[in-house]
Structures are given as C-alpha cells and as structure tokens.
Chains A and B, each alone.
Chain A
Amino acid sequence: MTKHSWAQELLRRPAGVAAAAWIVLLVVAAVVSSVWTPHDPFDTDPYSAWQTPSLNHLFGTDGIGRDIFSYVFAATRTTVVVAALAGVLASLVGIGLAALGSLTARWVRESTAVLIDILIAFPTILIAMLLSSILGGSLGVVITAVGIGYGVNIARVSRGEIRRVGRTDYVLAARASGVGSAGVLGRHILPNVAPVFVVQLSLAMATSILAEAGLSYLGYGASASTASWGRLLNDLQVYIAIHPGSVVWPGAAITLTVLAFNLLGDALRDATDPRLRARRATSEAIA
C-alpha cells in the first residue's frame, strides 16, 4: 500500500474531506491571527460590554468589552500549537515505548508491556494536575501530559502492530541478511506500522484539544495573556444566566475541532484498512 492510495481513498470520503478542510482552515486562521485580528483580542472597553453580534463584532463582546470573534480567532494559534506539539511528543513516546516493548530482550519487553498497561490507567488530566502541582500550570505541562498520557495509548496499539510486522518473512529475511535492529525498525517496520499510527496521531490531537480546553478552564493551562477557548469558557461561565449566547462560540469551536480530528481519524482508519476497502470494492461490484 502506498501513501498515494490512502490519500486518494481519503478524498473519496465526504466526512474525511470536511474534517481535513476544517483543520486546514484552522491552521490558516492560526497563521493569519498572528499578524492580524479584527480587534485586539485583549482590548477591554467597558462601554461596549455584552454587545450582540454585529458586523463590527461578529460574535458580540464579553463582559469587559473584548471582541469575542477576535479572541476565538487568536486562540486558534494555541489550539494548533498544542495539537501539533502534543502530537509529536505522543508519537515519540508511543513509538519509543512500542519499540522497547517489542524489539528488545524478553524481560524488557514484558515489563514494558506491564508498565504500559498501568500507565494507561492514568488519565491525561490527572498527569497534568500532578505536574501542575509542582511546576504550576502552563501549556508546556498540558503538552507533556498529553504526550505521556496519549503516547501510552499509541504504544499499546503500535506494539501489537510492530510485533505482527516483526514476524513477517521480509523482516526475518532482512535480519538474516545482517540488517541491524535500527535499520529494520526504520526501513521495514515503521513504514508498515504507519497507517495504524497516523490514525492514532489524529486521535491524540483530538485528545490534546479537549485536555487543553479542560485544563485552561480549570486555570492550569494557558496563562491569562494567552488566548484559549477553555479560558474563555471559564471567563464567560459566571454570566451564563444572563448571557448564555456568548458561550456558544468557544464551545462550538472546541467541539468542531475535536470532531474534525475524530472524523479524520475514522476516515484514515477506513482509508488505510485494506480489509474494509476490499469489502467496499465487492459491494460496489455487486451494486
């Protein structure tokens, strides 16, 4: 299976295309918002508090007169950076642990497997709280927590896959002809584990966005000078009884983005799973 064919498969799935489009839009928004936003997202103006949506304030204003659209727009940067870095860290942790749990001596392999099973019981948010109690809350802590918390999930899924690929004839042939462990891992195993891994990466990013929002809501994520959807939810919560409309924007932004990464993950799973593809091909042939 080549990369080309899964990209093509992905493009045939409307949900996958919509999800990918939303994520591209988000990245563009993150880039644009770092040079331009309609208003300064942190500019307060008590005289224009709680304005209803208008052309000047697309999403209205909050209780201290901040333009909610500009704030939500600027917060895309936080979301994109956290998702990207958490994704990279989770991949490194996941692949590292999976390799340790599948390609090493028996006792290392088995104790790694037990460790993975135990670490999975640690919810990401609790890892973040553990680190925050010492280091104080920050986006770095959120990224580290997701990296460890979701990395373990990636490790569990990839470990099985690496072990399966490790037993195939071509890997045994490569080993027999003298290719070292690192060579086998890089040249033969990782490319074959990639489809399973890409799906997990997409789900890791969905998790990181929910974790960032939750922790920033609790006050242990983004600092007050960083725009964050979760922080905005916390700022608006006090006024929920009087201005329930304003919480729609940050909440919808989080939901749509998490949904996009989940849908992308599902579409990638379908696109990269040859069994599903074969089934669809037969059903199309019958139709």
Chain B
Amino acid sequence: MFRFVLSRLVLLVIGLVVASALIFFTLRLLTGDVAQVIAGTQGTAAQVAAIRTQLGLDRPLPVQYLDWLAGMLHGDLGTSLVTGSSVSSQLLQKLTVTLPLAGMSLVIGLLVGIPLGVVAAVRNRRPEGTALSVVAQALAAVPAVWGGMILIAVFAVALKLLPTQGYPSDGWAEPGRALRSLLLPALTIGIIEGAVILRFTRSATLGALDEDYVRTAAAKGMTRTRAVLTHGLPNVLLSVVSVLGVQMAALLVGAVLVEQLFALPGVGRMLVADVGVRDLTKVQGELLALTGLVLILGFIVDLVHRAVDPRLREPGE
C-alpha cells in the first residue's frame, strides 16, 4: 500500500507541475506582451517598461514560472492585474461556494444514480427497467444550463419553493440560506451526473448478474435480485468508484456553467468574468485551482478504490 501511495503521489506531483507549466506557458506565449495588455492601447513606452519591471516581466520566462511555482508553495498566486488584490485569498473565498456545490452535486448524483441503476438492471427488459434506461440516456444529453432553467421554472417560478438566483452576501453565516441557494444548482448538476452514474451502475450490475457467484447463490435458493444485492453490490460499487475520478471533471465543468446561470459567486463565475477582462494572473490561478482539484480528487478516488478493493492488494498485504 505504501509503495502504491508513493507512486500515485509522484504521478500527482508530475501532473500538477505539467498542468501548471501548460497553463503558464500557453498564457504567456500566446499573449505576447502582458505589460502592453495592462497599459492598454493608450500606454506610452515608458509606462509599459515601468509595468514590466514592476511585475518582473523583464526576467526570462522560466524564471517567472519558477517564481510563480515558489509563490504557490507559500499559498501566494500573485495579484490581480485589474484590481491589485491577492488571487489566493479570493480563490479561497470563492471555493467556499464551489466546493460545497460540487460536494452536494456528487451526493445527489450518487443517491440518484446507484439505487436506480441497480433497479434498472434487475428490472432489465421489463417496462420499468426500460423506462429508467431511456430517461437516463435522455437526461445525460441535457445541457446543464437548460436543465437548470427548467428547474428554475418549476421550483422557483411556479412552486416558489426556492430562490431563482443569487447567494446570501454573508455566505455561510446563515447555513440554511446558503444551502437553500445551492440546492437548485446542485440538483441541476446532480441529476445530470446521476443519469451518467445510473447508466454505469446499470451495466456493472448487469455484468454482476452474469457472474458465477450470483448464479450459485440463486441455485442455493436466493432470488436473483437478493443475490445481486448481497453478493454483487460490493463489486458494482467498486466499479462506480473507479469512474468517479473522471466524473469529477464533469462536475467542476458543470459548476462553471451552473454558477453563471444561478449567479453564484464561485470560482467558475469568477473565471468567466476574469477571462472577459483578461486578468491573466487571476485566470492562471483559477485554471490551476480547478485542474488541480480534478487531479487531487482523482488521486483521492484512486487511493479509496485501492483501499476498499481487496483484488488490487499485493500478496502478503
């Protein structure tokens, strides 16, 4: 287990370094002169030169990159080119919206997808099983923003149960209000992700139904459904865990779109705004935070998968 964790950790660090280098160098090489961008078309040559020295842009690119990396290790991602405020402190604050949103969406997705996926498999080729598969196939194709609009129209406009948009300005000071604001956005992502998890759970369960251990249990007098639930479910859950890493990326992309739709002050909405005003140091930090999150969550999923799946253990462990 120790060697496994170590090798995964090395891969995670390589992943983070490559990701940060790709983000940094793509931005710098494609931009040309950042100082000129900040000074604008009206900027004089002297102003541009002053900005360049002030931000350290006159140093070679690799030095600037290493400087950014070193800052990152101290939790400092630089300052905004537009407002001059600290990128890391803003990121941390926006994460208090994005992380709970992603977490709630994941929980909803799992609660919807796993039980209904098992039902769809056990009732395969019966009306209810077919209906579940068809609905899941269709829901997986729904664009998140449209799904969100439908939920707004039903739960906020028609039934007036939840707020249409926005987030309490004092954040988690009143947890109830914050949760209410996050519920519809989390349902939007959660239902769509749940449809994907349902399809995956269904095919894993169908696979389990064919396994010898289910057949043996059925031969000993269990119903097939019971046999799958007692013997097949652990295997099904393990294969669901193994695809969760990939699903994390989908979850965060969903968050970028849904934060915009529901006007939630999260990392995604901040990214969308900063891309518009070309605040490159902030964009750089936000993209690194989001891709880093995907990589770190993937790493955690791998460790969990390894810890709970006895088949992956080395002999003698």
Contact = CB atoms under 8 A, between A and B. Distances in A.
A237 B260 CA distance: 11
Contacts of A117: 11, 15
Nearest to A259: B141
Interface in A75-133: 114-115, 117-118, 120-126, 129-133
Nearest to A114: B14
B18 A240 contact: no
Given A121-B291, A240-B164, 11 more contacts: A118-B19, A120-B246, A121-B15, A123-B294, A125-B256, A130-B283, A206-B141, A241-B153, A241-B156, A247-B150, A255-B141
B138 interface: yes
Contacts of A129: 256, 271-272, 275, 283, 287
A120 B152 CA distance: 32
B121 to A, nearest CB: 16
B141 A258 contact: yes
B23 interface: yes
B157 A241 contact: yes
B193 interface: no
Contacts of B275: 129, 132-133, 137, 220
Nearest to A153: B246
25 contacts: A117-B15, A121-B291, A121-B298, A122-B19, A125-B257, A126-B287, A129-B271, A129-B275, A129-B287, A134-B31, A135-B30, A213-B145, A214-B257, A230-B145, A233-B145, A233-B146, A234-B145, A237-B145, A241-B157, A247-B149, A247-B153, A251-B149, A255-B138, A258-B141, A263-B137
A68 B283 CA distance: 35
Given A130-B283, A214-B257, A263-B137, A121 B295 contact: yes
Interface of B: 11, 14-15, 18-19, 22-23, 26-27, 30-31, 137-138, 140-146, 149-150, 152-153, 156-157, 164, 246, 249-250, 252-253, 256-257, 260-261, 271-272, 274-276, 278, 280, 283, 287, 290-291, 294-295, 298
A130 B287 CA distance: 8
Nearest to A261: B141
Interface in A216-238: 217-220, 230, 233-234, 237
A138 interface: no
A190 interface: no
A130 B27 contact: yes
The CB with the most chain A CB atoms within 10 A, among B137, B249, B274, is that of: B249
A233 B137 CA distance: 22
Nearest to B157: A241
B260 A240 contact: no
Contacts of A135: 30
A254 B143 contact: yes
A244 interface: yes
A265 to B, nearest CB: 11
A214 B250 CA distance: 13
Given A133-B283, A258-B143, A122 B291 contact: yes
A262 interface: yes
Contacts of B150: 247, 251
